[in-house]
Structure 1
Amino acid sequence: MSTVPRWALLSAGGAPLFLVGGWTLAQAAQPDGFDPVRQTISALAATGADHRWIMTVGLVGLGLCHLTTALGLVSAAPAGRALLALGGLATLVVGAFPQHPTGDSTTHAVAAGVAFGALAVWPALAVPRRARPSLDREHRDAPAFVRRLALAAAAVLLALVGWFAAELFTDGAWIGLTERLAAAAEAGVPLAAVLVSRRRSGRSGPG
């Protein structure tokens, strides 16, 4: 198993910091009355928002972190890494094409949809189908356990994204909350994947 480099751990850890730190600081900079339960993350970076650069930096940092993590997560299958990178690239587009005060831009909406979708599905495709045979039962059973863990993570992420999508097509009373839950979970899963990969490679190594 290839060892995931330490810089991938830094980028994976940076993703939730950029996202949650970005929206926390950006919300604090908004006028009284901003409601994070009913208002989206994109509203914090929208054209005309107060100090919109804060959330824009957060989104750009998040996207760059996902791209860097995808590059360094060498133990994952190529399809999973490609989807993680796609999610990072789409997040950069979200930051580059902000929401308009009178409504969403098409580019922003499509990029956000691609980002949420790719970042929800990638764990299911990240576990290699073939693993090197091992006489050690613990090592032999580990790939199956990791695959089940990855599928469970993808299922939870898809459920959160589905809840957010449902809010988009209803009254949207919890649209901000559901988006934050989905986005935060998607930002944290790459960190978990890197930690698991580094732990497994450490156990497989000498000594």
Structure 2
Amino acid sequence: MPFVPRWTLLSSGCAPLLLTAGWAVAGRLEGPGYDPVSQTISVLAAYGSAGFWVMTGALLALGVCHLLTAWGLRAAAPAGRVALGGGGVTALLVALVPTPSSGGSLRHGTVAAAGFLLLAVWPVLAAHRHPTAPWALRPAPALAATALMCAGALWYVVEANHQGAAGVAERFVTSAQALWPFVVVTSCLRHRPRSIRS
């Protein structure tokens, strides 16, 4: 198995922590006018919001974490690493192209959708068919992770279109997407080194 450096444990582990801390602190700064059940994370990173700098910083850090993890995760198939890195780039772009203080933004929505897609498909693209692959890089767990993320994204679309619990759905899917790289890295580091043939 290609060597996976131990620092990827830090980059992948920080991603969900920084994201969650970002929306928690930014939501607190926003005050009672912000409803985390129905309102999205993008509202916290919008121009003029009280927690703009916190949420923007968290999204930038998330993007850097994904890029570093993709770089170091040599045990994953190249297509998966590219998709994870692309998800990191879109996180950076989401931070750099925030929504306006009122109304929507086609650019922001397009970049966010691309990020959701890349981070949803990267587990399947990173998988190996070889039976000695680390368990999180085997087809069944990878497909389950992708299915869960796609289901979460679909849930978010339904809630957003019906003005329901869009904030809860978005937090569910973004948490799953931020956590899976850590799961993969952990499984690689705990795996006995063996060669993986794609």
TM class, shorter-length: over 0.9
What is the rounded CA distance, in whole Å, between the counterparts of 1:21 and 1:144 in structure 2? 26
Q: Tell me, which stretches of 5 or more residues in structure 2 are unaligned?
A: none
Output the amino acid matched with 1:80.
G
2:159 pairs, out of 159, 167, 181, with: 167
Output the amino acid matched with 1:116.
F
1:143, CA displacement in angstroms?
A: 6.6
**Aligned counterpart, 1:136:** none
What is the rounded CA distance, in whole Å, between the counterparts of 1:144 and 1:56 in structure 2? 30
**Aligned counterpart, 1:104:** 104
- Larger mean CA deviation between 99-108 and 113-122 belongs to 99-108
> Looking at CA atoms only, which structure, 1 or 2, has the larger radius of gyration?
1
Task: State the superposition RMSD in angstroms.
Answer: 1.8
SS in 2 for 1:29: helix
With over 3 angstroms needed to count, the CA separation of the structure-2 counterparts of 1:148 and 1:199, relative to structure 1, is: same
What is the rounded CA distance, in whole Å, between the counterparts of 1:168 and 1:37 in structure 2? 11
How many residues align? The count is 194
Output the amino acid matched with 1:155.
A
Report percent identity of matched pairs: 43
**Aligned counterpart, 1:134:** none
What is the rounded CA distance, in whole Å, between the counterparts of 1:118 and 1:18 in structure 2? 20
**Aligned counterpart, 1:77:** 77
Q: Is the 8 A contact 2:15 2:66 kept in 1?
A: yes
Output the amino acid matched with 2:120.
A
1:166, CA displacement in angstroms?
A: 1.7
The correspondence of residues 80-95 of structure 1 with structure 2, limited to 5 A, is 80-95=80-95
2:180 pairs, out of 184, 189, 195, with: 189
1:147 pairs, out of 133, 139, 142, with: 139
The correspondence of residues 23-38 of structure 1 with structure 2, limited to 5 A, is 23-38=23-38
SS in 1 for 2:138: helix
**Aligned counterpart, 1:179:** 170
With over 3 angstroms needed to count, the CA separation of the structure-2 counterparts of 1:176 and 1:141, relative to structure 1, is: closer
What is the rounded CA distance, in whole Å, between the counterparts of 1:80 and 1:42 in structure 2? 26
What is the rounded CA distance, in whole Å, between the counterparts of 2:134 and 2:7 in structure 1? 25
Output the amino acid matched with 2:189.
R
Output the amino acid matched with 1:204.
P
**Residues 105-158 of structure 1: per-residue CA shift (max 9 Å, x gap):** 2221111001111101110110134x4xxxxxxx65867982211111111111
1:32, CA displacement in angstroms?
A: 1.7
